[in-house]
């Protein structure tokens, strides 16, 4: 018997919810809430975009410096390799070993 009461209560609750959803006042309220949520989401996205742009601007000079430093280190390393190769060739040609 208890199961039947729970079932009947669920059916009545569902019918009441459907009646509320179909009413014009509820639809207007849902549309208003949807508009507010959409506006809040758009505002949040704009804020995130601004923060990302600021972070990029802040980090870009550091990234450029790092790139320049890396390129300088690579140039030094390749110069060392070239000078090391030249030294080995000179030793090989002169017969030293």
> Is residue 50 included in any domain, yes or no?
yes
Which residue range is the domain that position 43 belongs to?
A: 38-64
Given a contact cutoff of 8 angstroms between Cβ atoms, the answer to whether 88 and 82 are in contact is: no
**Distance of alpha carbon 21 from alpha carbon 19, whole angstroms:** 6
In a domain, 53, yes or no: yes
Domain membership of residue 54 (yes or no) is: yes
Measured in whole angstroms, the distance separating CA 4 from the mean position of its chain's CA atoms is 51
Reading the chain (97 residues) residue by residue, the pLDDT tens digits are 778 899 999 999 999 988 877 887 888 888 899 999 999 999 999 999 999 999 888 887 765 666 777 777 777 877 777 776 555 555 555 555 4
Any domain includes 32: no
Burial class (CB in 10 A: 0-12, 13-18, 19+), 43: exposed
Number of structural domains found in the chain: 1
On whether the pTM is more than 0.85, the answer is no
């Amino acid at each position: 018997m208890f199961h039947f009461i729970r079932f009947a209560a669920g059916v009545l609750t569902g019918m009441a919810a459907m009646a509320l959803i179909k009413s014009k006042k509820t639809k207007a309220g849902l549309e208003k809430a949807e508009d507010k949520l959409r506006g809040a989401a758009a505002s949040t996205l704009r804020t995130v975009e601004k923060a990302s742009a600021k972070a990029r601007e802040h980090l870009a000079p550091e990234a450029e410096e790092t790139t320049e430093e890396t390129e300088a280190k690579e140039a030094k390393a390749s110069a060392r390799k070239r000078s090391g190769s030249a030294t080995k060739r000179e030793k090989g040609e002169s017969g030293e070993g």
